[in-house]
Amino acid sequence: MRFTKDHEWVAVEGDIATVGITAYAAEQLGDVVFVEVPEVGKTVAQGEGLAVVESVKAASDVYAPVSGEVVEANAELGDAPETVNAAPEAGGWFAKLKLSNPAEVDALMDRDAYEAFLATL
């Protein structure tokens, strides 16, 4: 799993990247009450808005940590947005992207680097 400074995570299998937000981000957001996931077929560039996650208080953008085409969105979040809080780095994933530039993944932080980054916040 790789991480961004915006607190997204990416897990890569072959050329498919699963994207979610980290436990730290979920905790900061508070109780998630609505998730807007992207449509399948949408192409996103690294850093572009991929999803929107809403807590009682506010809406927050989730940015694409890598570039690619959306091949699947997590439909279960429609009925169970709280999964983002319960299992942010597992069942609370937002979308799967077909990587258009796999090299982007290598440039992201690994777990140790992300933990070190969190310690600076």
Q: Does 86 bind other proteins (CB under 8 A)?
A: no
Instruction: Give the residue, chosen from 56, 90, 107, 116, that forms a contact with other proteins under the rule CB under 8 A.
Output: 56
Please report how close the Cβ of residue 58 comes to other proteins at its closest, in angstroms: 8
| Stretch binding other proteins (CB under 8 A), from 7-15, 57-65, 93-101, 103-111 | 57-65
Task: Tell me the CA end-to-end span of the chain in Å, nearest whole number.
Answer: 21
Q: Does 83 bind other proteins (CB under 8 A)?
A: no
Please tell me the distance from the alpha carbon of residue 106 to that of residue 12, in angstroms, as a whole number: 11
Q: How far is CA 52 from CA 17, 55, 57, 80, in A?
A: 18, 10, 13, 15
Half-sphere exposure of 43 (CA within 13 A, CB side): 2
Interacting residues with other proteins (CB under 8 A): 30-31, 33-34, 36, 52, 54-59
